[in-house]
Amino acid sequence: MSLHQDSDERDFTQPIVTLSLGLPARFILGGLQRELPTQKIRLMHGDVLVFGGPARLCFHGIMPLADGLHPLLGSRRISLTFRHA
């Protein structure tokens, strides 16, 4: 998933909450403009990531997954994303 901003919601006062399941992923967290530097955060099975407040509109994405086999979910990653639409 390439670098993007979650900006379709009507209410930016509510955070975006994601739950990662299955294969590990590298989350790319940037700034409020696409051009700003990014950092990578490793997300493992069961990790919850919350971005809200001043980070709510930060650009973000997911690096392509490395091959692997998760003991419960096999060769896949599932991301449950909660947002106030």
Ligand X SMILES: O=C(O)CCC(=O)C(=O)O
- With H, G, I as helix, E, B as strand and everything else as coil, classify residue 64: coil
* Residue number closest to Mn ion, CB atom: 6
Run of H or E residues at 24: none
- According to CB under 6 A, which one of 68, 81, 82, 84 is a site residue for ligand X? 81
Residues 2-61 that bind ligand X (CB under 6 A): 6, 18, 20, 60
- Residue given tokens 């590990």 in the structure block: 24
Dist. CA 57–CA 8, nearest whole Å: 10
Dist. CA 25–CA 61, nearest whole Å: 10
x-or-dash string of contact with Mn ion, 10-49, rule CB under 5 A: ----------------------------------------
Residues in contact with ligand X by the rule CB under 6 A: 1, 6, 18, 20, 60, 62, 79, 81
